Structure 1
Amino acid sequence: MDDFLTLENRHTGEILRMRRERDAEGQVVLALDGSLPPHMNGPPPHVHFQQREEGRVRSGSLGVQVGSEKSVVPAGGTAAFPQGVVHTWWNAGDDPVEISGHAIPAADLDRYLQAVFAVMNASTSGRPSLFYIAHIALRHRRTQGFMTPPLAIQRIVFPLVLLVGYLLGKYRGGSWPGSPESCPGAPEVDAADLSATLSLSAIQSPDQR
């Protein structure tokens, strides 16, 4: 049984693998592995109001923007996205980029990403349905935010979109794209299971991995 939640954006080829882990202080963090094809954009500018992200580039070149600052992080380098700061990332090279890191604490980021990927993949054009993206934005508004349209406009427009969506029956049942029922989030690995996994990895030969 895979102890990761795997998400793939069928329009960009971005892949995310996530699971919840407990750190040395007992805090639940979200472990993240990500990859993106050459010259593709990752997520649009967004912000985590209650989390910070940090990661290491395993291969390729990662373009990042944190606030107004842009940079390129090569393989072996690290990137950090502070809590409350707008950021985005992209593949800045000719090879696939692969990254590993954590979101601290985990909060609801896994459920949020699961919902966003579902809405993106349900679109034939790559443009998400306003009805479903508004529902995600409003239910995660205290923890996550994307910057298009601006947050001030979202606070005015999205409640109206949500009302129309309810009137049209867009949110009936639990199988519509990005519904809370369809987005339980990533599995949590307890300390004993994680320790066993790391120990097994350490004793395996390169040919066994």
Structure 2
Amino acid sequence: MNITYPHTIENCIGEKLIFREVRREADGDRVIVENFVAPGSGPPMHVHRLQDEGLTVISGRIGYQIQGQSEQFAEEGETVVFERGVPHRFWNAGTQTLHCTGWINPANSVVFFLSAIYAAQNKSGKAQPEVFDAAFLLTRYAAEFDMVEIPRFVRTVIIPVTYQIGRLLGKYTHFKNAPEPLPTSSQLAVLQ
């Protein structure tokens, strides 16, 4: 997939994300981001299994939570870092648009994944992405991302079945140029 930067995505629930650039670094490509979030909006509890993420508040107030911990807040000029593998969520905890700058490292498939999730939300017209697109993305990129608020049975049974039904119905032709998924840790062990 060939993306030109800056690359802007918006969803129907008040989130706008601008991928400003990708910087080559020794520990992997770092994507530089800028986001704008409407009051009360923000992604649900999720995990980047292989990426760290940092957000600095430019204006507004961000609420954030690490799974199992209490809600916290950061104001203008403060930075929040979410370490890889740690489930987290954030939202606009103020009354004005939240504006942040930040980064995700290493970038891996995050630009494609988030662009496709936003498109699937716009397709459904709500926070929950269109079901077949969500099943494709959460299955194909399971080594990188997970939506931990989705009940385990749905994540381990319903989504894989939906993905297979989508394949049979030809629902994924628009993903023909999707980047290859990263190998899972079990696949890496076999390769070594």
Q: Normalization by structure 1: what TM-score?
A: 0.77
Counterpart of 1:63 in structure 2 is 63
- State the Cα deviation string for residues 1-53 of structure 1 (Å, max 9, x = none): x731100012x221101131123x37311111101122x22111100101111
Sort the Cα spacing of 1:89 and 1:126 in 2 relative to 1 into closer, same or farther, 3 A.
closer
1:167-209 Cα distance to aligned partner (Å, 9 max, x none): 22322x32xxxx253x67xxxxxxxxxxxxxxxxxxxxxxxxx
Computed over aligned residues only, the root mean square deviation of the Cα atoms, in angstroms, reads 1.8
Shift of the alpha carbon at 1:95?
Answer: 1.4
Measured in 1, the distance between the counterparts of 2:11 and 2:60 equals 19
Equivalence for 1:5? 7
> What corresponds to 1:101 in structure 2?
102
Q: Could you tell me which amino acid in structure 1 is paired with residue 6 of structure 2?
A: F
Q: Deviations over 1:108-157 (max 9, x none)?
A: 11111011011001113443222110000011000111113234541222
Supply the AA of the counterpart residue of 1:8. E
Offset at residue 72 of structure 1 (A): 0.8
Query: Which runs of structure 1 show a deviation greater than 6 angstroms over 4 or more consecutive aligned residues?
Result: none
More divergent stretch after superposition (74-83 vs 118-127) = 118-127
Q: Calculate the TM-score normalised by the size of structure 2.
A: 0.83
CA distance in 2, matches of 1:35, 1:125: 18
Report the more deviating stretch, 110-119 or 141-150: 141-150
Number of residues of Structure 1 aligned to a counterpart in Structure 2:
174
Listed as ranges, the gaps of 5+ residues in structure 2 are 180-192
Larger radius of gyration between Structure 1 and Structure 2: 1
**CA offsets per residue over residues 74-97 of structure 1, 9 Å max, x none?**
011110111111101111111111
| Partner residue in 1 for 2:122 | 121
Q: Distance in 1 between matches of 2:67 and 2:125?
A: 31
Q: How does 1:67-146 map onto structure 2 within 5 Å?
A: 67-69=67-69, 70-146=71-147
Structure 1, gaps ≥5 residues long:
185-209
